Amino acid sequence: MTAFRSGVVAVVGRPNTGKSTLVNALVGRKVSIVSDKPQTTRRNVRGVLTNDEYQVVFTDTPGFHKPRTALGQRLNDAVGASVDGVDAVVQVVDASAGVGRGDAFVFAQKVAAASGRTFCAVNKIDRLSHHAVVPQLAAAAELGDFDEIVPASALTGQGVAELRDLIAAVMPEGEPLFPPGEFSDQPLETWISEIVREKALAITREEVPHSVAVVVDDLERDDRLLRIEATVLVERDSQRGILIGRGGATLKDVGTRAREEIEAVLGTKVFLGLRVKVQKDWQRDPRALDRLGF
């Protein structure tokens, strides 16, 4: 009988390479929020894939970048913590944007010294012609000495199963790290706050998405209803006006989208109350970041 294997994999890359979408595809369900905005992921989110042969814990990380705020530095620190002592690291690069200096920076800072196996997922190949993929694979190979380089599209699923199998094959023998049936390590309050933020990101533009944070203030549940009260933080009065919208329409849209997804996942009726509060320059305020759990 084949021994059970289990291990931890850090998924890293510069902002907007599709790390969260890839983690969701590898796990087979949504564990991380996704958007087209850079720095959507602000916390290390663990997605757990378990079957009869192995358990792989994928850690989705914030995009590694040159920070301009205290929050940015803390996000980079989170990436650093995620690669320490893991069994494998997957660097995700964006083939459609072109493999370049930002990817080389990530490799040098976070992948080169990894103690485990290393993989490169050349993502978003669905946006390229077949002939345009090969140069991006070659550029990925120039980043450093990966164990495997896999062309993939997290969006369409192309290459995801191959990458999953390669990762699972190098996991060490061992007992499961999470109980059967668990697919994420996020507390319910954190997951809800991220769902609300995802919907706000989908609707707002310009400087607003970077300034949005969500805090669940109260959570009460009975047999029939999950009652949630949450605060959406922004940094400027103008951002508050944009997020609330004319007659409260934008905030209502955010709340409706979030409530529908929460109800679908949890299988219960939800009341979601949202308010918007200005916390000036919270991204640059270490005390505010401490209170928000960053």
Q: Is the pLDDT of residue 66 over 80?
A: no
The CATH code for residues 188-291 is 3.30.300.20
Name the CATH superfamily, with its identifier, for domain 5-169. Answer: P-loop containing nucleotide triphosphate hydrolases (3.40.50.300)
Amino acid at 24: N
Q: How many helices (H) and strands (E) does the chain have?
A: 10, 9
Tell me what the mean pLDDT of segment 1-28 comes to.
93
Give the whole-angstrom CA distance, residue 184 versus residue 191.
10
Q: What does the domain layout of the chain look like in residue ranges? A: 5-169, 188-291
Phi, psi of 156 (to 5 degrees): -95, -15
| 81 pLDDT tier (thresholds 50, 70, 90) | confident
Q: Is the pLDDT of residue 180 over 90?
A: no
Model pTM score: 0.89
Q: Is the pLDDT of residue 1 over 70?
A: no
CA angle 203–209–210, rounded 5-degree value: 175
**How does pLDDT run across 232-281, given as a tens digit for each residue?**
999 999 999 999 999 999 999 999 999 999 999 999 999 999 999 999 99
Residue 103 DSSP SS3:
helix
Q: Which one, of 166, 137, 190, lies nearest residue 9 by Cα? A: 166
Give the bridge partners for 55, in sequence order: 6, 50
Q: Do the beta carbons of residue 38 and residue 117 sit within 8 Å?
A: no
